[in-house]
Amino acid sequence: MSKEHIESILEKEDSWNAFIEKTPEIARSASNEGMLAGKTLAIKSCINVKGALTSCASKTLDNYIAPYDATVISKIKSEGGAIIGMANMDEFACGASGETSYYGPTKNPSAKGMIPGGSSSGSAAAVAADLCDMAIGTDTGGSIRNPSSHCGVVGFKPTYGTVSRYGVCDMSMSLEQVGPIAKSVYDAALLLDVISGKDEREATTLDTRGGFSENLNPDLSGKKLGYAKEIDELIVDDGIRTSIHAALDKLKSEGAEIIDVELPSLSISIPTYYLNVYVEFFSATRKYDGRRFGHKIEESCGEEVLRRITLGKYISAAEWQGKYYRKALAARTMIRNELESALKDVDALVAPVVPMLPHKIGEEGSNDPKVMYAYDIFTTPANLAGLPAGSVPANEVNGIPTGLQVIGKPLSDQKVLDVMAGFEAL
């Protein structure tokens, strides 16, 4: 590994508030051998890195120095990856803009003045600003794909169970996956090779075969790609509509076949997702009572985190479960069934990542949950169904990057990465 490379990366000025803390000692202790030797990485601040501030970008954990490594971190270290810092993020991963961090908003290196997206805002911004080679994010409803799209980099959410969540401060345990953010599909696949696989300490992990980077095949000819007609009705910005149709034309020009599919329940993905998230997040945050570490969350967190806790507590109460949570679980089954049906005769689905362009940092309305949640309409279905999905840079609209989203069947992560690589090469 080039020690000079690590030092030069560590010296770079972070003008985008992409990092909460740099970790030079951890970076300098990286091994010279392994699949990630020579690579510098940013880690989302909700993943335990031994000896580093793992704050979840919240005052609640502003004094929490992780006492152990998450499984993904152990794997990265064992393959020579140099962890250069803890990336900024939306507080406790509750956001899609990168504005809700206790440490201040992350700025978008690829679209001046605009939000970078979230919640893995710092991870995507650090890669886009060349402050590291690759990054780790988490994706519960689009938190890898959304900032990757806004910042013009590659992001991938694996099939649920592909990557261990041991050591991750989870936001919503049934929806969340850890995944790579990188400058190319190859690098994202390489990082996935390292972090994926069965973990005895995490009961939801699956035996996956790895080898994603080695087997990457960008050939698009003969690929069948589904596009749901409902998407066009739900797109808010004309620029996004133009961008996705230009992407479809490009895919066709390389021999891919675009097939009409139906996703009639796409319009209810946001209520389905948030009713699930509120309940699971309320449960996940009960450990932040300030007794053994950190501060009591309700007394130290920001508004969106408090909203999710308060509403999660409210709808968890037995008398409301039938109206909200159980209904949302049924809706989740419906969305999952529709996606399964749409994917039956195609290799993958394609879609925009977001329905609208990112807003300006601090713009009025950015505190309105309905405004913020609207970004998630095309990304949450993959989480609800546990499907692999990635974002690859597609186009620019008014100088703002937009991504193409590729979604696959469960455990077809390789196929999704192949389509992304094929599109990237165009």
Partner 1 sequence: MTGKEDKILKDGKALLEEFASALDKVPDMEGTPYVIELKNVLAGDYPGQSPSDFPKRFSELAPRWDFGYLKVEKKR
By CB under 8 A, the residues from 289 to 348 that bind partner 1 are 290-294, 298, 303, 306-307, 310-311, 314-315, 323-324, 326-334, 336
Build a one-symbol-per-residue string for 29-58: x at contacts with partner 1 by CB under 8 A, - elsewhere.
Answer: ---------------------x--------
Tokens of 120: 């893995």
CB of 276 to partner 1, least distance (A): 8
Q: Which of 2, 8, 29, 67 binds partner 1 (CB under 8 A)?
A: 67
Give phi and psi for 246, each to the nearest 5: -65, -40
**Residue 366 engages partner 1 in binding (rule: CB under 8 A):** no
- Residue closer to partner 1, measured from CB, 224 or 323: 323
- Element holding 261 (H helix, E strand): strand 257-261
Under the binding rule (CB under 8 A), the answer on residue 233 touching partner 1 is no
Among 56, 244, 284, 385, binds partner 1 (CB under 8 A): 385
Closer of 324 and 423 to partner 1 (Cβ): 324
Distance CA 235, CA 315 (A): 30
399 forms part of the interface with partner 1 (CB under 8 A): no
- Residue 48: how many CB atoms within 10 A of its CB? 22
* Strand extents, DSSP E, 283-417: 348-352, 389-397, 400-407
The DSSP H or E segment spanning 247 is: helix 238-253
Q: Which is nearer to partner 1, 131 or 275 (CB)?
A: 275
Ramachandran region of residue 123, left (φ > 0), alpha (ψ -120 to 50) or beta? alpha
Q: Is 408 in the site for partner 1 (CB under 8 A)?
A: no
Sign of CA dihedral 166, 171, 174, 179: negative
Question: What six digits make up the tokens of 336?
Answer: 């999952």
* Residues labelled catalytic: 44, 119, 143
Residue 415 burial by CB count (10 A; 0-12/13-18/19+): exposed, middle or buried?
middle
- Residues making contact with partner 1 (CB under 8 A): 50, 63-65, 67-68, 160-161, 174, 200-201, 203-204, 206, 267-268, 271-272, 274-275, 290-294, 298, 303, 306-307, 310-311, 314-315, 323-324, 326-334, 336, 369-370, 384-386, 410
